[in-house]
Amino acid sequence: MQFLLALIVVGPLAGAAAALLPAPPGLKGKSPDQAVLRHGVTVTGVILLAALVLALGFDHDHPSTMQATTDISWIRALDVRIHLGVDGISLPLLVLTALLTFLCALYSYFKMPAGPSPKAFVALLLVLESGTLATFAVLDLVLFFLAFEMVLIPMYFLIARWGGEGRQAAAWKFILYTLLGSVVMLLGLLLIGLKAGTFDMVALATDNGRGLTTSVQVIAVLAIGLGLAVKTPMWPLHSWLPDAHTAAPTVGSVLLAGVLLKMGTYGFVRIVLPTTPDGMRTFAPYLAAFAVAGIIYGSLACLALAKPGNKGDLKRLIAYSSVGHMGFVLLGIATMTPTGVNGALFANIAHGLITGLLFFLVGAVKDRYGTADLDTLAGATGAALYGRAPRLGALLAFAAVASLGLPGLAGFWGEMLALFGAFDPAAGLSRPAFLTFMAIGAFGTLLTAAYLLVVVRRVCMGGPRPAGETAVADVQGYEFAAWTPLVALTVLAGLWPAVLLGLTDPAVQQLLAGGPR
């Protein structure tokens, strides 16, 4: 188990280095480009297989215990350690990251985005995977920061070199926002480590803030929270996200929404909640207020983009929808209750599955029609997917109703539990304030349903293809292979939420309570 977790974290880095080397003569296939893309599929497939074996070997009777741990001294002067481990909180995120990266590599093998050499593309994809997996596996504050930063450079180049129109400006905006937030976050992490006398996240969670004064906790939460809020992204620190998504290639958008945004919310759960509970209690009402503001703002922005005549971009609309969905995650965390935090973790996974599928589908629509402009797609000769590409239309409608939180699909449980958590927040938090936040969040679900149904009506509905018009390709074999796992897991998590909640709940209970592990 220790070896598996180390392989999962380090394996993609070795694969990235190998991708830059010349392919052996027997493995070149039809061309060197095909060989390196096949290498990306192979490496990400091995990492996914290792993640699944790790999940099967995980002791599901004790999900609150750190498992597959490695603890090696690294920088003795600061007591920084190479400390790895997984519990019921991090395991689902590890598997989600490995799955989405594999699906992106598989999709790119058949539909490589336009841009420079595939060698650099595959190497950057693997470095991005390694940094994301490390973020969810490390248990040392310094290592967490290094892994958190490791993903910025590969994502910057994926947007800047393989993106669409406006990619340079979007890439710069992405990296400047996240770097500035990370500088502030580093100060907060160092403050905790130096004042508590350790950077070990397990020891800090066990201590549950008893070794830190309230003033230190308040300062630390403010600093760390700002850095995490930018990555999440929380309104009003979200403005880099729509530009990044609109300009990014399809697989870049899938990974950005599916796993990179989760790094911010994971930091709140893994570091802020257990390590600085008093400071978190001070800021929880403000975090909840920003969260519900993001829910309403994201929904209203999507409604404006979906309105006829506004030249709304479908990728941009899905990006704004992420601001709203991540608002529910932050609301659940702000309640500081097991119900709310479990809802936040469930919504994290659901958002990764559903929004990853949505970006795949929007990319496919843009490839077929040459545009993601809603007015063009909804025009007289627009997409009309039900009549022209019925399988693609059905998948888009499925992803939309999953995203709006239809009961029986994954999007429902996380948002419902976050609202339940707001109904009865933790002791010391204002219940009238959180009841207000709950009501606003519930209203946001109605707005979410409104804009997604408008999108489905405008893009999917319409007459059949006129005689003589060029046929539009329906779902291809490689698309079916890349999207089916996301559809299946969306249904599975919706019908059987205990698969996730059985892992996260004991770990969350322990994390919020502190005490021995």
Lowest mean pLDDT among 214-228, 379-393, 462-476: 462-476
CA distance 342 to 263: 16
% of the chain residues with pLDDT over 70: 95
CA distance 454 to 456: 5
The conformation of residue 465, written as its DSSP 8-state character, comes to P
Mean pLDDT of 7-13: 91
pTM for the whole structure: 0.91
Q: Is the pLDDT of residue 464 over 90?
A: no
CA distance 20 to 130: 16
CA distance 44 to 13: 11
Q: What is the pLDDT of residues 225-256, one digit of tens each?
A: 999 998 888 888 888 888 888 888 889 999 98
Mean pLDDT of 205-213: 84
Report yes or no: 433 and 393 within 8 Å, Cβ to Cβ.
Answer: no
For 341, other C-beta atoms within 10 Å of its C-beta total 30
CA distance 175 to 180: 8
**Which phi-psi region, left, alpha or beta, contains residue 159 (left: φ > 0; alpha: ψ -120 to 50)?**
alpha
Mean pLDDT of 307-330: 89
For 163, list phi and psi in degrees, rounded to 5.
Answer: -85, -175
Instruction: Tell me what pLDDT residue 427 has.
Output: 86
